[in-house]
Amino acid sequence: MIITTLLKKRKEKKEITAHCREIIYTLAGKLGERTIRLYSNLTSARDFIHTTFTEQGSTPYLEEYHADGKAVHNVIAEIEGTEFPEKIILIGAHYDTIEGTPGADDNASAVAGLLELHRLMSAKPAKRTVRFVAFTLEEPPYFSTDEMGSMVHAKNARERNDGIELMVCLEMLGFAGKKVQQKFPVADMKRDYPRQGNYLAVVSLPSSADLAYLWKRVYNSHAKKNREIYDMIGPSSIPGIGFSDHMSFNRFNYRNIMLTDTAFFRNDNYHTENDTFSTINFDFLYENVLFSYHTINEIANMERLPYAE
């Protein structure tokens, strides 16, 4: 029995890692910059994500809008809930990049996580619906504007009154290491977090703290020792707290958290041409995907989430 379990875990790790490597290589290696400026790369990334969702058994659809006179698209796939289909856990990651960068960690690593989580969740639907959204145009000059992909989706969701109980933003999941120095936006944080940049963080505003704590508790019940997730709760005035797609959902009164390797507080390649495939720690990414899968699966099957209406 022990040998069978070990072999299963090895196979699981091999599959997840291989899929993540292929996704990141396609997006950051073959395509590279994914922007309006290089529109064909942006649309090729969109098509690759759409095809992957389809191959994993979903019927994805495109949420179209226009920016700078061009049609752009969020890519959406859903796994309908078996008992509470009207209640939605939304998992999102942006697939565009800043100009001039291949965007391996920012944000191909998170797209790899998004697609792998969809594949794993597809095997056995949860009680709640799980919606997977690959957002376009998160990066400047669109960040925090009406042309930001997540802003469009959050606005449309609110107009439909979609029952999103939790939005989970995946933002840079692949940069870590024992020799990586962790930096902090607030000096006092040095007392509470490791100095090595070798962990994943769950981030939220105080209004969603209960869900961040829930995520941390469930995640750490599945995580290996020394791979526990750390919570970072604070106001948007703290640099980095609101620097991704979760803030679009906050604007439309959907509760949200962000999973991140802490971006520029750790990764010196952030928003540079050096954010390449070769810098990704695939063992770290694999663990983030696996433990997040178990966490999403458990939360999506709960009878009730904290303070959910």
DSSP 143: T
Q: Are 19 and 116 in contact (CB under 8 A)?
A: yes
3-state secondary structure of 247: helix
CB atoms within 10 A of CB 120: 21
Residue 309 lies in a domain: no
How far apart CA 303 and CA 84 sit, in angstroms, is 9
- pTM (two decimals): 0.97
Residue 306 lies in a domain: no
> Do the bridges between strand 61-67 and strand 70-79 make them parallel or antiparallel, or are there none, so unpaired?
antiparallel
Amino acid identity of residue 235, one-letter, is P
Nearest to 213 by CA among 295, 291, 288, 271: 295
Q: How far from chain centre, in Å, is Cα 27?
A: 15
Residue 238 lies in a domain: yes
Which phi-psi region, left, alpha or beta, contains residue 135 (left: φ > 0; alpha: ψ -120 to 50)?
beta
Per-residue pLDDT of the chain (309 residues; tens, 9 = 90+): 666 777 788 899 999 999 999 999 999 999 999 999 999 999 999 999 999 999 999 999 999 999 999 999 999 999 999 999 999 999 999 999 999 999 999 999 999 999 999 999 999 999 999 999 999 999 999 999 999 999 999 999 999 999 999 999 999 999 999 999 999 999 889 999 999 999 999 999 999 999 999 999 999 999 988 899 999 999 999 999 999 999 999 999 999 999 999 999 999 999 999 999 999 999 999 999 999 999 999 999 999 998 754
Helices 110-122 and 2-24, packing angle to 10 deg: 130
Residue 72 lies in a domain: yes
Integer angstrom CA distances of residue 15 from 114, 160, 177, 193, 286: 15, 37, 22, 31, 10
Q: Which domain holds residue 287?
A: 2-300
Residue 295 lies in a domain: yes
Residue 71 lies in a domain: yes
Residue 307 lies in a domain: no
| CATH number of residue 272's parent domain | 3.40.630.10
How far apart CA 135 and CA 76 sit, in angstroms, is 9
Residue 305 lies in a domain: no
How far apart CA 235 and CA 229 sit, in angstroms, is 20
Which phi-psi region, left, alpha or beta, contains residue 210 (left: φ > 0; alpha: ψ -120 to 50)?
alpha
Q: How many domains does the chain have?
A: 1
3-state secondary structure of 112: helix
